[in-house]
Amino acid sequence: MGVCKKLVSSFSYSWKKKRDLAEAQKQLKLPEHSLKTECPTRWGSRQAMIDRVLEQHKAIAQVLSSDRKLRHLTLSWQDIDVLEAINKSLSPLVEFTDALSGEKYISVSFLKPTLHLFRNSILEVQEDDTDLVKSIKQKIVDYLNDKYSDPETQELLDMASALDPRFKFKYVNKDNRGSIEDRLTAEMK
């Protein structure tokens, strides 16, 4: 990740590098896209940066090969393998993180179903996954499990999901249904 960030920042600070990248894209018949930078407050920006670097890595290599100071930033095949693994693991999550970060609609009731989908489908290990992809997926699942394991958080998510007519009690643990129903009834009085 570090080399990817350094690589992108070296292009963002130099108009000459941007110009050379555009020329290399034309020569290699690649889409004429600028590189994207990661933004800590923008969900999915890391994946977008990685995806763009992978898309443009041949043009980037061509530009960097002519610069002695930055030649060391050229991606090796190992770097590309790692970036492809990260991209493969993060790509399916982008759509959901964008949907859950909406400001114009209520999204907390979607969290329980989305977490269920992540754990049981999207982040489930596939046969063709490399060891690195498997490891990344497992780390994401572990992080999500840890982040939402607090009983108070679980109760809030259960209540929000139960109140949503699309989900009701579908994603609420059977052992907790009675207490959630009691809590919702008490809240309505």
pLDDT tens for the 189 residues of the chain, in order = 788 899 999 999 899 999 999 999 999 999 999 999 998 877 788 999 999 999 999 999 999 999 899 899 999 999 999 999 999 999 888 878 777 777 777 778 888 999 999 999 999 999 999 999 999 999 999 999 999 999 999 999 999 999 999 999 999 889 889 998 998 889 888
- State the residue range of the domain holding 164: 102-189
Return the structure tokens found at 75. 């991606």
Q: Is 174 a domain residue? A: yes
Query: How far, in Å, CA of 94 to CA of 85, rounded?
Result: 15
Residue 18 half-sphere exposure toward CB, CA atoms < 13 A: 9
Residues belonging to the chain? 189
Dihedral sign for Cα 112, 117, 120, 125, please.
negative
> What is the model's pLDDT at position 170?
93
Contact 17, 11 (CB under 8 A): yes
Q: Is 181 a domain residue? A: yes
> What is the model's pLDDT at position 15?
93
Residue 65 half-sphere exposure toward CB, CA atoms < 13 A: 8
Contact 96, 144 (CB under 8 A): no
Cα 18 from chain centroid? Answer: 26
Q: Is 42 a domain residue? A: yes
Return the structure tokens found at 174. 């059977």
Contact 100, 148 (CB under 8 A): no
Is the domain of 66 the same as that of 14? yes
Q: Is 97 a domain residue? A: no
The CA-to-CA distance between both ends of the chain, in Å, stands at: 53
Is the domain of 12 the same as that of 38? yes
Give this prediction's pTM: 0.79
- The domain tally of the chain equals 2
Is the domain of 81 the same as that of 133? no
Is the domain of 85 the same as that of 34? yes
